[in-house]
Amino acid sequence: MARVLVVDDDERIRRLVSDLLTANAHSVVQAQDGAEAVAKAKAEVPDVILMDVFMPKMDGYAALQAIKNEESTKQIPVVMVTAIGHDLNKKLAEGLGSCAYITKPFSAKEVIDTVARLAQVHNGSES
């Protein structure tokens, strides 16, 4: 079981992803924008963060950069979950420290498998 921070400004997407993760024995914390995501990442130190790119106040790229620049959160795997599937966006996310990129619409299996894999890596269960 992983503790997952789900970040998306669309409440329906947050609820969908949260319900999916909860049904698969994960615990979930939610944030509705990048600024809230950075604060919750510091406070909660989740095992994995699933984050949208385009959000108000602070976008996903800025939040990713802030999370990776903070000593207490830099080791948390961050997955960008967005409708933007361009290679340039994927490379930007990777360059900022994202370890995976899921394009909307996504499959439940893709989300669950990605969270499980990254939680294992983050918790030291896999080399």
Output the DSSP codes for 41-67: HHHH--SEEEE-SS-SSS-HHHHHHHH
Render pLDDT for 37-59 as a digit per residue (tens, 0 to 9). Answer: 999 999 999 999 999 999 999 99
Contacts of residue 47, Cβ cutoff 8 Å, sequence gap at least 6: 2, 3, 4, 76, 77, 118, 119, 122, 123
At residue 126, the pLDDT reads 45
- CATH architecture classification, 3-107: 3-Layer(aba) Sandwich (3.40)
The amino acid sitting at 13 is I
| % of the chain at pLDDT higher than 90 | 90
Q: Is the pLDDT of residue 65 over 70?
A: yes
At residue 120, the pLDDT reads 86
Domain residue extents for the chain? 3-107
Task: Report, as an integer, the average pLDDT of 93-108.
Answer: 95
Residue 52 CB coordination number (10 Å): 27
Read off the pTM.
0.94
Q: Is the pLDDT of residue 127 over 50?
A: no
